[in-house]
């Protein structure tokens, strides 16, 4: 009982001293084959006096003249967006942490913490392949990139929402940290403490070596980092037998590709609206648009819809699929690949323009060039009546950052990357926290309920439905489908708008709940597309799993199987787990009832591991494959504010405490040594007369 009372007392004291901050998002440490980058605190947390950065004078106060270092800097995003300011703070010994207040909209001039040349070392262009095109020598794809995400900060950086808690921090600062008439403020001062200690250091090679030592020589093994990765989602239009790997005789496959992941400076925050969501929503809508026509008249070639994970981090998903094809570990091999059509960033078209990017190096091969021309012709034939102006770049330039580059590293393939930019990205917020629904103009009238918003067809949805129609018609032509049926292929703008709402605004909506309820509650926040770490390597992340369920429902067939036989249909006639996958879907609510009408969907949708081959090959300094890892952390990541006393008062308090301790010890010693005198009692006489 005493222990419980003591703990309750400790918690009560702590709550009176500290105010914990909710809704904080940290920058964490990432590593690759050669470097560490990101942020971390000391093992006991970083503490500093808070100071608001609003002017250049405030910056000088923090870096030079302020009398109470070290400082925790509270800044608006306008200063965080300035690379020079962040580098000054990084190189100062007077700064112990940064808290950034992030607004919902980005700066008009744009902001990208990514590199100017994304994935430049793991694409196809190098000294041996198009050397003049390597390292963005011809086209700088992301000119606004300042590389902030690749810097190594020795202190923690947290993002805060501009809400009541941020106002409380500002009030604490104004009440305690602002002096009179420019003088230094008096104690007590408002301070902040941040906890985000990372275990991994130096590089992926170092942390994986430490993992190995822990695993083999420690009684209580603890890993210090994990590879980034998840699962690729893919689905052939016509079923393929997954039990036999490698080459499929007489099988020609058109690959339709896009990516599923994005990133920003802060951990697990990647809305990636233009950078990622527009691409995979377009491909999902195209796959759905093809279903009815291909059931009526299947094309002679197959189409493989592929959704790659980890592409932001040196093409994790696509390099793994190509590697598996080369090693005969995938359902097809590279000899089965006919051509590639990739959907890049397609949501911010300037006017009606959509650009077809091809690789000039592989097109020097006459056979490849002819097939590329055929693919471009199929695209142009399919655009009629869609209000889209298709064009090729006017100058010879490399492919933009794309999964197709990993296929070209294996061998020349005909292929096209569709994008809304001719040269540099139109996206002003590439791989930043501002690439969100508002930037993509996915907005709704204020008087609509969530369910009405789900059904409201936005202009962005209409535009992406046109692109999806173009993609679907082109794929059908490229797969040698019946050209008389091409005009019957049309993407559904309502499906597109529902997907945009679910993937950008609210995942916990009625349509998604009908498909897959188990993790929708987990995904009740605004969806994020950071690839994360592959700790279990046994099942996809919730967001990847949701894409898998959605693709199955958009392309599959509802069966009469019950839940038991849906999980194991091997005993059923005309059902085959070698050719199909089976998913039990929660279904919509019955009319006038809270019960659901669940059903079993048969589809060709599968998922395979998207972990860089470098970790299978133990080549942790590989220059061919991605080597990205994320550091682990043991203690909780958190931030809190409190009032800190002056050093003099702290020393006085310590001195008084020591004095009280010494006096207590002396008193205890005196009482103990005189215990017989102080606590003895007079003996009663042994003989007592009554």
Question: For the residues 43-65, what does the mean pLDDT come to?
Answer: 94
Q: Facing residues of 236 across strands?
A: 304
Q: What is the pLDDT of residues 380-427, one digit of tens each?
A: 999 999 999 999 998 899 999 999 999 999 999 999 999 999 999 999
Greatest Cα pair distance, the chain, in angstroms, is 131
Host H or E run for residue 380? helix 366-382
Q: Using only C-alpha atoms, what is the Rg of the chain?
A: 31
Instruction: Name the average pLDDT for the chain.
Output: 91
Q: Token digits for 54?
A: 């609003």
Q: How far apart are CA 163 and CA 173, in angstroms?
A: 16
Q: What is the pLDDT of residues 185-242, one digit of tens each?
A: 888 999 999 999 999 999 999 999 999 999 999 888 889 999 999 999 999 999 999 9
pLDDT, residue 218, reads: 87
Sheet holding 557-559, edge to edge: 557-559, 599-603, 581-585
Q: Give the position of tokens 């919902």.
A: 104
Listed residue (606, 431, 446) closest to 531, CA to CA: 431
What is the pTM assigned to this prediction? 0.92
Q: What is the pLDDT of residues 259-269, one digit of tens each?
A: 999 999 999 88
Question: For the residues 264-287, what does the mean pLDDT come to?
Answer: 96
Highest mean pLDDT among 6-10, 218-222, 349-353: 218-222
């Amino acid at each position: 009982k005493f222990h419980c009372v003591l703990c309750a007392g400790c918690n009560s004291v702590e709550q009176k001293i500290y105010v914990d901050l909710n809704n904080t998002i940290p920058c964490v440490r990432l590593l690759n084959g050669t470097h560490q980058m990101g942020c971390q605190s000391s093992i006991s947390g970083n503490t500093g006096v808070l100071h608001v950065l609003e002017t250049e004078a405030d910056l000088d106060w923090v870096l030079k003249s302020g009398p109470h270092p070290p400082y925790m800097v509270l800044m608006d995003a306008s200063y965080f967006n300035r690379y020079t300011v962040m580098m000054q703070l990084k190189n100062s010994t007077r700064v112990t942490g940064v808290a950034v207040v992030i607004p919902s909209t980005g700066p008009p001039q744009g902001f990208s913490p990514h590199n100017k040349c994304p994935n430049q070392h793991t694409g196809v262009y190098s000294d041996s392949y198009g050397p003049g095109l390597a390292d963005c020598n011809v086209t700088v794809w992301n000119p606004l990139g300042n590389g902030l995400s690749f810097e190594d900060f020795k202190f923690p950086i947290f993002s805060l929402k501009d809400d009541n808690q941020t106002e409380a921090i500002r009030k604490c600062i104004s009440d305690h940290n602002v002096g009179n008439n420019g003088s230094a403020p008096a104690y007590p001062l408002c301070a902040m403490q941040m906890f985000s200690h990372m275990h991994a250091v130096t590089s992926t090679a170092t942390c994986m070596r430490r993992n190995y030592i822990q695993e083999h020589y420690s009684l209580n093994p603890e890993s210090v980092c994990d590879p980034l990765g998840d699962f690729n989602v893919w689905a052939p239009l016509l079923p393929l037998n997954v039990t036999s790997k490698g080459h499929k005789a007489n099988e020609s496959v058109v690959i339709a590709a896009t990516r599923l992941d994005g990133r920003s400076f802060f951990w697990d925050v990647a809305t990636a609206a233009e950078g990622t969501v527009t691409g995979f929503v377009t491909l999902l809508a195209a796959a759905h648009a093809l279903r009815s026509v291909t059931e009526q008249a299947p094309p002679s070639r197959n189409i493989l819809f592929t959704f790659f994970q980890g592409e932001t981090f040196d093409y994790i998903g696509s390099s793994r699929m190509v590697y598996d094809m080369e090693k005969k570990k995938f359902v097809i091999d590279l000899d089965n690949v006919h051509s590639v059509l990739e959907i890049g960033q397609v949501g911010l078209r300037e006017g009606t323009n959509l650009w077809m990017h091809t690789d000039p190096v592989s097109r020097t091969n006459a056979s490849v060039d002819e097939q590329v021309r055929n693919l471009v012709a199929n695209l142009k034939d399919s655009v009629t009546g869609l209000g889209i102006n298709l064009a090729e770049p006017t100058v010879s330039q490399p492919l933009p950052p794309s999964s197709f580059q990993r296929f070209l590293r294996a061998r020349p393939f005909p292929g096209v990357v569709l994008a809304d930019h001719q040269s540099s990205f139109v996206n002003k917020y590439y791989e930043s926290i501002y690439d969100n629904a508002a930037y993509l103009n996915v907005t709704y009238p204020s008087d609509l309920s969530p369910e009405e918003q789900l059904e409201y067809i936005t202009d962005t949805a209409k535009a992406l439905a046109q692109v999806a129609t173009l993609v679907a018609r082109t794929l059908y032509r490229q797969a040698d489908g019946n050209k008389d049926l091409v005009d019957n292929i049309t993407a559904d703008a309502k499906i597109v708008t529902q997907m945009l709402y679910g993937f950008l605004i609210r995942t916990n909506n009625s349509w998604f709940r009908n498909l897959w309820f188990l993790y929708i509650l987990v995904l009740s926040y605004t969806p994020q597309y950071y690839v994360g770490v592959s700790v279990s390597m046994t099942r996809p992340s919730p967001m990847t799993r949701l894409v898998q369920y959605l693709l199955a429902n958009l392309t599959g067939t509802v069966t009469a199987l019950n839940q038991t036989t849906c999980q194991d249909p091997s005993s059923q006639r005309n059902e085959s787990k070698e050719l199909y996958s089976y998913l039990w879907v929660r279904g919509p609510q019955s009319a006038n009832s809270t019960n659901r009408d669940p059903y079993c969907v048969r589809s060709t949708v599968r998922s395979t591991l998207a972990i860089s081959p470098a970790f299978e090959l133990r080549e942790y300094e590989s220059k061919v494959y991605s080597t990205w890892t994320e550091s682990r952390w043991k203690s909780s990541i958190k931030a809190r504010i409190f009032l800190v006393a002056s050093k003099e008062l702290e020393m006085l308090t310590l001195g008084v405490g020591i004095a009280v301790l010494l006096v207590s010890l002396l008193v205890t010693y005196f009482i103990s040594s005189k215990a017989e005198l102080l606590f003895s009692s007079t003996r009663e006489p042994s003989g007592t007369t009554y």
